[in-house]
Amino acid sequence: MSIDPAALTIAGALEGLAKKDYTSVELTNACIEAMRAAKPLNVMITETPDRALEMAAAADARRGKGEAGLLDGIPLGIKDLFCTEGVLTTAASHILDGFHPAYESTATARLWQAGAVMLGKLNLDEFAMGSSNETSYYGPAVNPWQTKDGPKLVPGGSSGGSAAAVAAGFVLGATGTDTGGSIRQPAALCGITGIKPTYGRVSRWGIVAFASSLDQAGPMARTVRDSALMLQAMAGFDPKDSTSVNEPVPDYCAHLEAGVKGLRIGIPREYRMDGMDPEITALWEKGMAWLKDVGAEIVDIHLPNTHYALPAYYIVAPAEASSNLARYDGVRYGLRVPGKDLIEMYENTRGEGFGREVQRRIMIGTYVLSAGYYDAYYTKAQKVRSLIKRDFDQAFQRVDAILTPTAPNAAFPIGMTHDDPVTMYLNDVFTVPVNLAGLPGMSVPAGLNSAGLPLGLQLIGKPFDEATLLRAGRALEKAADFRAKPAQWWRS
């Protein structure tokens, strides 16, 4: 039979595999064919079809013996920020040219233990810095969604390749990372689901570091259930990551259909921003009405320091990045550009190896950490961070989850915000507070705007309460009944 991977979900494919409608090798071949056809989207940095077919054959053999794991035989894409043993890992940066890690990240290792199949490594913003996938050394990934005869659109970022691949339909799910919104914003712009777990829920070991106190990995998939299945495999304590938290991982699918009856959903007044796209405000109102209709109580809440989250993030994240990126010196990894002495070699390597946005962040980070400015910027930003966390703590005494828009806009044309970093940073306005507070957050596709582009709503949960978040996400997904799919224009 011919398999259309774009029409499948992970849960559906697991059933198909269990019923022997098809084998994992057949499913994987269909994905490889679709991946090749999707070349115009520039979504892959490295394709690993041979490895995928080997993994699929092994999955079929396990299934034959009745030993199938949670994701056995399911083809996934991996954001190229996760180290994959022996497979080129670039972080979409020139400076990691030729870097083949000798180890596998814990998050991906757990997916392979659950039986998943790796189709390849996905495009992203360089070192995950960006909201549009345009800072990638490998060129921008393209959003499968388009307006009629309009320009090509960004898929969001930094996990733009992941979101585009899932939306285009040639992977059933993908990994993402989220430092300030990089799972949720591209999920929203591509009409898919993505969850950023609580800080400490998924191991960061073996993931190229951007801002270590904010980075979290999570799943991106077509449905809430698929995200729950992937998170189930990825989550859990890892002694190799000192910030990983030893909390039991509940069965995320067990109460997925329990609904939101009796749950209190908070609506933060401060997220009603001046000048916000009226279509986004309208969708947010719709989301409130949907949840109320199925039994949730809608509660007005205050998060008074929201206003300071974005400036605080754009101090803390570059500060940590400047320190994390100090290791790329032309000696230990990837690219080396020679110079007359060691210092000049460093300068040449870092000058050529890092793109403009990464250099900008290193400069901001170095500045805010410098002796004379440390207290004025870095210490102050950390204090703001505590206030933001306190706002959420107080709100969560009254509510079980919070509903907001995911991003202030839909997908925008490639090239539109070039040389305007501040406009780009504004894309993170609703997502960044969640990272500063270390909370779980998810984006659920909720509708199309008048131009036919997808929009998402964000749910924010209590620490380590991804189960409630997924349950509320599922209720929202049911109510929104988002079924639209992008036309596969890249095939013609």
Binding site for ligand GLN (CB under 6 A): 128-131, 158, 178-182, 210, 317, 428
Amino acid making up residue 210: F
Q: Kindly tell me which of 358 and 480 has the beta carbon lying closer to ligand GLN.
A: 358
Rg (CA), the chain: 21
Count of CA atoms in the C-beta half-sphere (13 A) of 259: 9
Q: Kindly tell me which of 130 and 191 has the beta carbon lying closer to ligand GLN.
A: 130
Nearest residue to ligand GLN by CB is: 182
The helix (H) or strand (E) run that includes residue 62 is helix 49-64
Q: Kindly tell me which of 60 and 126 has the beta carbon lying closer to ligand GLN.
A: 126
The single residue of 24, 132, 182, 227 carrying the catalytic annotation is 182
Question: Are the C-beta atoms of 128 and 182 separated by less than 8 Å?
Answer: yes
Q: Kindly tell me which of 157 and 287 has the beta carbon lying closer to ligand GLN.
A: 157
Q: How far is the CB of 181 from ligand GLN (least distance, A)?
A: 5
> Any catalytic annotation for residue 389?
no
Burial degree of 352 (CB within 10 A; 0-12, 13-18, 19+): middle
Q: How far is the CB of 247 from ligand GLN (least distance, A)?
A: 23
Q: Kindly tell me which of 318 and 445 has the beta carbon lying closer to ligand GLN.
A: 318
> Any catalytic annotation for residue 19?
no
Count of CA atoms in the C-beta half-sphere (13 A) of 203: 22
Q: Kindly tell me which of 161 and 180 has the beta carbon lying closer to ligand GLN.
A: 180
Residue for token pair 């992941």: 162
313 Cβ partners below 8 Å, 6+ apart?
Answer: 180, 214, 428, 432, 435, 436
The single residue of 105, 132, 136, 158 carrying the catalytic annotation is 158
Question: Are the C-beta atoms of 434 and 462 separated by less than 8 Å?
Answer: no
DSSP string spanning 184-195?
A: HHHHHHHT-EEE
Q: How far is the CB of 136 from ligand GLN (least distance, A)?
A: 12
Q: How far is the CB of 349 from ligand GLN (least distance, A)?
A: 23
Reading the block at residue 291, the tokens are 């949840």
Q: How far is the CB of 317 from ligand GLN (least distance, A)?
A: 5
Q: Kindly tell me which of 114 and 129 has the beta carbon lying closer to ligand GLN.
A: 129
Burial degree of 341 (CB within 10 A; 0-12, 13-18, 19+): exposed
Question: Are the C-beta atoms of 70 and 115 separated by less than 8 Å?
Answer: yes
Closest of 264, 260, 266, 192 to residue 230, by C-alpha: 192
Quick check: helix, strand or coil at residue 245?
coil
Question: Are the C-beta atoms of 88 and 99 separated by less than 8 Å?
Answer: yes
Q: Kindly tell me which of 5 and 160 has the beta carbon lying closer to ligand GLN.
A: 160
Q: How far is the CB of 255 from ligand GLN (least distance, A)?
A: 28
> Any catalytic annotation for residue 203?
no
Q: How far is the CB of 271 from ligand GLN (least distance, A)?
A: 18
Q: How far is the CB of 150 from ligand GLN (least distance, A)?
A: 23
CA dihedral 94, 173, 109, 120 (to 10 degrees): -40
Closest of 178, 220, 222 to residue 428, by C-alpha: 178
The single residue of 79, 121, 196, 462 carrying the catalytic annotation is 79
> Could you tell me the end-to-end alpha-carbon distance of the chain, in angstroms, rounded to an integer?
23
- The residues that are catalytic are 79, 158, 182
